[in-house]
Structure 1
Amino acid sequence: MSKQTKYIFVTGGVLSSLGKGIAAASIGTLLKNSGLKVSILKADPYINVDPGTMSPLEHGEVFVTDDGAETDLDLGHYERFLDESLSQNNNFTTGRVYSTVIEKERRGDYLGKTIQVIPHIVGEIVERIKRAGEGKDILIVEIGGTVGDIEGLPFLEAIRALRAEVGRKNGMFIHLTLIPYIKVAGELKTKPTQHSVGELRRIGISPDMIICRSEMPLNRELKDKIALSCGVEKNCVIESVDSASIYQIPLAFLKQDILTPIAEILELGELKPDMSVWDSLVKRIIAPTEATTIAFVGKYIDLKESYKSLTESIIHAGANLDARVNLKWVDSEKVDSENVDEILKDVDGVLVAGGFGERGVSGKILAIKYAREHDLPYLGICLGMQLALIEFARNVLKIEDANSVEFNKECKNPIIYLIDSFIDAHGKEQIRTHKSPLGGTMRLGAYECEIKPKTLLAQIYNNAKSVKERHRHRFEANPKYKPDYEKAGLIISGESKGLVEAIELKGHKFFIGVQCHPEFTSRLTKPNPTILGFISACIKNAK
């Protein structure tokens, strides 16, 4: 008989965006560093099947796992905090649950019964939670949204039923809520928390622990009031105060002895996490000795959540290099030939991030040209690599109509073309692809990249022969132009079964473009080598 997985269910109250994901990941980090096998699941009540076709303006970043799942950005936080690679089992939505139940009904799996929210929808949610927890000591389950949301009711019923099934020693409820500060009155108010917990109790869930998000620390009297009114033990009221860095949260929780009540409720014995390495890295985030400034060139700079993994990976690299990386956000739509010199004259490096569509492309190409001509460290990610190829083709190889079929389907020199064209021309190559719901072919998930020896890429990956990184894109670099590039000094330093994975400029301080998204595999304790190499070059350039 397999060992019973223990569950920690995390819900949110009052309003969204309070940081349930960070709180869940922080608890997971402490438990993992205590020697337990831990995983995390995000259950999203929205009806979309996944965030893959949702606008960045609507949902922020789409995080991609090794197995090609397009998931909620909270999974990125989970991976970065836990240093674990998660899968499509670690994130699901209402849309996915209903799709599965309807498919089962159409196949006759329910033997013609009437399909209802209880037991069928709730039962499917419970099964998915159990599947994610297999083989783990503890599974942390974060329920998206806020208590009181109509779409969240089946999820709350599912965790209530699962806790009843496994018993108190195998399941606990943590509720994260806002303690607002009313400036005029000069007071922190607990009433919204009391209402939120009341709503939970109405549906049969009594929290075992309350985590309080607030702008300032809570005094003992206030914590005792929350404990009394919400029916939890006094040591089960934990504060989560605004911090300079999200990576301080596990340390703040540890300081408040959060693991003692968790260990008591779940009968885990004494827990003593080793957070020494984490602590030293956090100190470097807060008070580093070096500094550098990079231009972050993109078109979603007003919505920085769209680049969440990338900005976090830059923080990881900075912490490991003991440097503060200042980001100069550059709206690529506002860059032109008249102002590019002025915009980039005071930076130590240029980063062009991934993206879709033609908007802002001309500004990105101008920034790439500036970095190439001024020997400024450059990193191009996904579209950033493709545009570096287009810029080089136009300005060095003098191919005037060089373009991507994404921007001009009829271009005579398609430097970048659809992956379908590559597969058609190289039928023998086994390229794993996914069909998106919108009909396009995509490369999603982890792919192996063979690294050319004696290149900058080989150097930053410690002379590894190959490496796996994650992808999310539809367009590929056309290998037809490879001889022309290499003859002119642009090296193809990484390939995957004939597909161009990485490029670099010979004789340049640091000029790399990668087709993958290296930010998806970066962790605080293990920064991604590509990002680390780029930030290191920027620090040297600053000196």
Structure 2
Amino acid sequence: MARYIFITGGVVSSLGKGLASAALGALLQARGYSVRLRKLDPYLNVDPGTMSPFEHGEVFVTDDGAETDLDLGHYERFTGVAARQTDSISSGRVYTTVLEKERRGDYLGKTIQVIPHVTNEIKDFINIGDDEVDFMLCEIGGTVGDIEGLPFFESIRQFSQDKERNQCIFMHLTLLPYLKASGELKTKPTQHSVKELRSIGIAPDILVCRSETEIPEKERAKLALFCNVRPDSVIPAYDLKTIYDAPLAYHEAGMDQAVLDAFNISPAPQPDLSTWKDVSDRIHHPDGEVKVAVVGKYTQLEDAYKSISEALTHGGMFNRVKVRTEWIDAEIFEREDPAAHLTGYDAILVPGGFGERGTEGKIKAAQFAREHKVPYLGICLGMQMAVIEAARNLAGIDTAGSEEFDHEAGAKRFEPVVYHLKEWVEGNRTVERAVNDDKGGTMRLGAYNATLVEGSKVAEVYGTTAISERHRHRYEVDTKYRDQLEKQGLIFSGMSPDGKLPEIVEVKDHPWYIGVQYHPELKSKPFAPHPLFRDFVKAAVEQSRLV
């Protein structure tokens, strides 16, 4: 039977609840416990799959095909526990389920209300897998006081009452603002946040206080007194040079011990923090530096490519180098010569995306990397743009393009080297999709197997010819152009097991040029970098020595 830790936030959003949850999960693992982390989001979207990256950051995809909040990426990166569909829920998904049950008549004619029907649905979700782990960490999105979050707060209040005593605790993350004019840290916003939480029946057991400056003992004692928590359960959370210092920093601040004390676990197992000490050492003591250009279409918001950013960092840690990532808007190359912007970089990465905007710039970035022998990694749309570039400039298909762009324009302008994926095999069934289907959840999502060509560069990188990677796309490279492209040196080095869907392409006689239809960044971790990012950064190191 799991013990439950509910993590809530107050004062302002974006304080780092996700990172605090992930770091706590890592610390509990270091003490020998098994953990699972969950995110409960109050927004009315069923999932973030249809949200703009500018609106919500990246969409993190699980092996079983769920489109989830980017915080689940943090959970996986810190704990190594693969997230599942049952680890992410939103108000939209809850209400959809409740209304579907009402339409079927499951409620036997009762009046459907937030309490108990919506709250029961949330509690049932939280309780999934109760017997699988020692600790279940559940983060509630948003901040206390948000009207849309009230059903979730009421649910976790009820849930704690339904469980046995000492089976649930509450951790509240707040901000201590520093007023420069008076030279003071102010505790009042935190006091009001806790008051708001207590007014809905939840009393925090642990306070995690974000602060830009050191929190004096006097202020910690004041918070403990006015917020009714133990003094050693007021945990300072300071800004860090890297998120991967969080487990060590929170351990030093006493977070994991405070959690165990709140559950009356004594004596507590001693933590083995050797993995995180090694991670910290690698990131703080690199032997060199490489510059990687990421040519994308959502570069104004780094969270849109959060997993890519972190995977590059992981590859750098493995190779003992700092990866200096520069984010370049692909649209610039539609007006200016790419050479003026890309010369001097040790590697180029073109990530995924949707729609035609910026794609011609991505094609030019792929061309620059191919012609100038610069290491190149194309992910999802980045692979498709590499194929279109090769079709135009190597195979002589001047109008090569994607059916996606013609669909947007409502006219046929391109020879569709990339086409809308109408069907594919998922397990033992065939999935069919039409261009005009609903947008939400209708892509090829989740983990799929691929078979690599023996002797290929990518098989060398993986060290095997059988892999499984996570997908999120509607469009696919057309195999009818395979012979033409391979004669010109673009090799289809990875295919779906049935041989119908291209998974990987690479360029012959190039130091490192690989495009993949899937998203390898989603499976990378600081203590286990993804093979592609590990080798991509290694190629960048070798390139830097040539410049």
One-letter code aligned to 2:536: F
Q: Which amino acid aligns with 2:466?
A: S
> Does residue 272 of structure 1 match 2:273?
no
Helix, strand or coil for the counterpart of 1:406? helix
Distance 2:172 2:537 in 1: 38
Match of 1:31 in 2: 28
In structure 1, the partner of 2:509 is: 507
SS of equivalent residue, structure 1 residue 339? coil
5+ residue gaps in structure 1? none
Pick one of 91, 104, 109 that aligns with 1:107.
104
Q: Which moved more, 1:372-381 or 1:159-168?
A: 159-168
Over 3 Å counting, the alpha-carbon distance change for 1:62 and 1:238 in structure 2 is: same
CA–CA distance in structure 2, aligned partners of residues 539 and 378 of structure 1: 13
Are the structure 2 counterparts of residues 47 and 338 from structure 1 closer, same or farther at C-alpha, using a change threshold of 3 Å?
Answer: closer
What is residue 487 of structure 1 aligned with on the other side?
Answer: 487
Deviations 1:173-232 (A, max 9, x none): 000000111122221111100000000111111100000011122121111111111111
Distance in 2 (alpha carbons) for counterparts of 1:447 and 1:431 = 13
Match for residue 329 of structure 2 among 328, 331, 339? 331
CA shift for structure 1 position 338:
4.2
Structure 2 residue corresponding to 1:532, chosen from 531, 534, 544: 534
Rate the CA distance shift 1:127–1:439 in 2: closer, same or farther, 3 A: closer
Partner-residue secondary structure (3-state), 1:471: strand
Question: Which residue number corresponds to residue 182 of structure 2?
Answer: 185
**Cα distance change, pair 461–432 in 1 and its aligned pair in 2 (3 A):** farther
Partner of 2:13: 16
Which stretch of the first structure deviates more once superposed, 498-507 or 261-270? 261-270
Q: Which amino acid aligns with 1:268?
A: I
Question: Paired residues, what number?
Answer: 536
Question: Secondary structure at 2:235's aligned position in 1?
Answer: strand
Q: Establish whether residue 213 from structure 1 lines up as the match of residue 210 from structure 2.
A: yes
Q: Is the 8 A contact 1:81 1:523 kept in 2?
A: yes
Give the conservation status (yes or no) of the 8 Å contact 2:449–2:469: yes
Letter in 2 for 1:357: G
2:438 alignment counterpart: 437
Which residue identity lines up with residue 407 of structure 1 in the other structure? F
- 8 Å contact kept, 2:292–2:347: yes
SS at match of 2:64: coil
Q: Aligned letter for 2:527?
A: T
Provide the C-alpha distance between the structure 2 equivalents of 1:441 and 1:162, rounded to a whole number of angstroms.
33
Give distance in 2, aligned partners of 1:289 and 1:189.
42
Equivalent-residue separation in structure 1 for 2:477 and 2:492 (angstroms)? 10
Report 1:199-348 matches (<5 A).
Answer: 199-269=196-266, 270-336=268-334, 338-348=336-346
1:282–1:319: 8 Å Cα contact kept in structure 2? no
Shift of residue 23, structure 1, vs aligned partner: 0.4
Deviations 1:338-386 (A, max 9, x none): 4311111110011001001111111111111111000000000000000
Shift of 1:257: 2.4
The alignment status of 1:475 with 2:472, answered yes or no, reads no
2:153 paired residue number = 156
Q: Residue in 1 aligned with 2:368?
A: 370
Distance of 1:260 and 1:303 partners within structure 2: 36
Q: Which runs of 4+ in 1 moved over 3 A?
A: 426-437
Q: Which moved more, 1:197-206 or 1:275-284?
A: 275-284
Distance in 2 (alpha carbons) for counterparts of 1:427 and 1:266: 43
1:531 deviates by 1.3
Counterpart in 2 of 1:91? 88
**Matches of 1:384 and 1:181, distance apart in 2:** 44
Query: Which residue identity is paired with 1:437?
Result: D
SS in 2 for 1:325: strand
For 1:381-460, what aligned pairs fall within 5 Å after superposition? 381-409=379-407, 410-411=412-413, 413-420=415-422, 431-432=430-431, 437-438=438-439, 441-460=442-461
Distance across 2 between alignment mates of 1:230 and 1:456: 59
Q: One-letter code of the match for 1:499?
A: L
Cα 1:434–1:140, aligned 2, differ >3 Å: closer, same or farther? Answer: farther
Structure 1 counterpart of 2:242, one-letter code: S
Contact 2:60 2:73 in 1 (8 A): yes
> Structure 2: where are the runs of 5+ without partners?
none
CA deviation after TM superposition for structure 1 residue 429, in Å? 9.8
Kindly indicate whether the alpha-carbon contact (under 8 Å) linking 2:493 and 2:505 is maintained by their aligned counterparts in 1.
Answer: yes
- Could you tell me how far 1:261 is from its partner in structure 2? 2.3
Asked whether the 8 Å contact 1:168–1:265 carries over to 2, the reply is no
Shift of 1:286: 2.4
Q: Is 2:41 the partner of 1:44?
A: yes
- How big is the shift at 1:91? 0.4
1:516 and 2:518 aligned: yes
By how many angstroms is 1:36 displaced?
1.1
Q: Which residue of 2 aligns with 1:128?
A: 125
Distance 2:347 2:60 in 1: 25
- Which whole-Å CA distance do the structure 2 matches of 1:492 and 1:100 have between them? 42
For residues 281-316 of structure 1, give each alpha carbon's deviation from its aligned partner in whole angstroms, at most 9, with x where no partner exists.
122212311210011101111111110111111111
Q: Distance in 1 between matches of 2:516 and 2:485?
A: 15
Helix, strand or coil: the match of 1:131? Answer: coil
CA RMSD of aligned residues (A): 1.8
Partner residue, 1:196 = 193
Distance 2:433 2:224 in 1: 50
Which range is displaced more, 333-342 or 21-30?
A: 333-342
The answer to whether the Cα contact below 8 Å between 2:40 and 2:139 also exists between their aligned partners in 1 is yes
CA distance in 2, matches of 1:366, 1:320: 30
- What's the offset of the Cα at 1:430? 5.4
- Specify whether residues 210 and 433 from structure 1 end up closer, same or farther in structure 2 by C-alpha distance, changes over 3 A only: farther
Cα pair distance change 1:320/1:133, threshold 3 Å: farther
Q: Give the secondary structure class of the aligned counterpart of 2:405.
A: coil
The answer to whether the 8 Å contact 2:18/2:74 transfers is yes
Cα distance change, pair 439–261 in 1 and its aligned pair in 2 (3 A): closer
**Secondary structure of the equivalent of 1:330?**
strand
d(CA) in 2 for partners of 1:509, 1:433 = 38
- Output one character per residue of 1:59-110: Cα deviation in whole Å (capped at 9) or x when no partner: 1111100010011111111111110111110000011111111111222221
For 1:294 and 1:439, locate their aligned partners in 2 and report how far apart those are by CA, in whole Å: 33
Aligned-partner Cα distance in 2 for 1:272–1:431: 50
- SS class of match (2:166): helix
- Cα 1:31–1:72 shift into 2, 3 Å: same
Q: Report what 1:79 is aligned to.
A: 76
Q: For 1:249 and 1:134, how far apart are their aligned partners in 2? A: 28
Give 3-state SS (helix, strand or coil) of 1:359's partner: coil
Q: What amino acid is aligned across from residue 319 of structure 1 in structure 2?
A: M
CA distance in 1, matches of 2:418, 2:50: 22
Structure 1 residues 408-417 or 433-442, which shifts more? 433-442
**TM-score scaled by length of structure 1:** 0.96
Identity %: 49
- The one-letter code sitting in structure 1 at the alignment partner of 2:371 is E
Residues 49 and 441 in structure 2, CA contact (< 8 A), matched pair in contact too: no
